[in-house]
Amino acid sequence: MAALGKVYLIGAGPGAQDLITLRGARLLAQADVVLHDALVTEEMLELCPQAEKILVGKRCGQLSTAQQFINKQLVDHVHKVPLVVRLKGGDPMLFGRADEELRALEEAGIEVEVVPGITTALAAAAASKQPLTKRGVSRSVAFFTSSTAPDHAEHDAIPDTDTLVQYMGGREAIATAERLLAQGRKPDTPVVVIENVSRPDQHIRRMTIATLAQGLGAAHGPVLVMLGDAMKTRSHQSFDSEINSAIAHQLRA
């Protein structure tokens, strides 16, 4: 009986092809099969031209691949080929359903390795030039999302930290802003909203929690929201013209 292959859970990073790790890129170039998320870019998939590519994406509000089916695909393919990659946006271990896939592979006796990636929050902080921590201002950061399993609704509480980073923001960020205001956060607390982080169509908007509570306007890609006093702009900080146009678009929406 042929020996089982190996599965790698690889973080693709926030989107730009050159933000994947060297190890991740090397393994992609060796992969026989790549099961990838919907947010993985075509440019990223150019790193594995030799591999069979299978889309197993999950997008909010759209028809998605069931997690049990993804688990079965991983197990089935590793019985057929030596190297299987599960390519995930950002980092596999943060909001990536990695626990479920690791459990399925371990229960099947399959060797698996995790290759970290740059999570979107860090790419967003870099793109906006806004550190998530700041001496004397912010010494704690929480990454959170409003998307939870149906039987874990009690975990929807907003973390109590200096800087908040909400993944999969979109319309959920408006509800977050409303709740923060109700909890006593200052209305003028600065907020940075980034859409399509690190991609050519990246969009940065700067506002306050009070403005965010009134709506975000249209969004055409994944949205990440950073809230807290650490988001306050520096006195000599300059901005691209797209930021001003984004705010104008929001006010017209």
Mind telling me the catalytic residues? 37, 58, 168
Contact 146, 156 (CB under 8 A): yes
Check whether residue 158 and residue 248 sit in a common domain: yes
In a domain, 82, yes or no: yes
Q: Count structural domains, the chain.
A: 2
Quote the domain boundaries for residue 158: 120-252
Check whether residue 28 and residue 79 sit in a common domain: yes
Rounded to two decimals, the pTM is: 0.86
In a domain, 1, yes or no: no
Question: Which one of 97, 115, 133 terminates a domain?
Answer: 115
Check whether residue 111 and residue 183 sit in a common domain: no
Hey, how many other C-beta atoms are within 10 angstroms of the C-beta on 251?
Answer: 11
Check whether residue 100 and residue 129 sit in a common domain: no
Question: Which one of 115, 137, 154 terminates a domain?
Answer: 115
What is the SS3 assignment for 22?
A: helix
Exposure string for 202-241, b = 16+ CB within 10 A, e = fewer: bbbbbbbbbbbbeebeebeebbbbbbbebbeeeeeeeeee
The arithmetic mean of pLDDT across residues 93-120, rounded, is 96
Check whether residue 211 and residue 235 sit in a common domain: yes
CA atoms of 100 and 104, how far apart (whole Å): 6
The pLDDT tens digits for 196-235 are 999 999 999 999 999 999 987 767 789 999 999 999 998 8
Check whether residue 96 and residue 163 sit in a common domain: no
Question: Which one of 83, 115, 147 terminates a domain?
Answer: 115
What 96-105 contacts at long range (C-beta under 8 Å, 24+ apart), as own/partner pairs, is 96/9, 96/11, 97/58, 97/67, 98/9, 100/67, 100/71, 101/9, 101/67, 101/70, 101/71, 101/74, 102/9, 104/71, 104/72, 104/74, 104/75, 105/7, 105/71, 105/74, 105/75, 105/78
CA atoms of 144 and 155, how far apart (whole Å): 10
CA atoms of 53 and 83, how far apart (whole Å): 13
The pLDDT tens digits for 63-86 are 567 999 999 999 999 999 999 999
The pLDDT tens digits for 131-186 are 999 999 999 999 999 754 445 555 567 888 999 999 988 888 999 999 999 999 99
Q: Which residue has the higher pLDDT, 108 or 146?
A: 108
Check whether residue 166 and residue 230 sit in a common domain: yes
Hey, how many other C-beta atoms are within 10 angstroms of the C-beta on 196?
Answer: 19
CA atoms of 196 and 49, how far apart (whole Å): 24
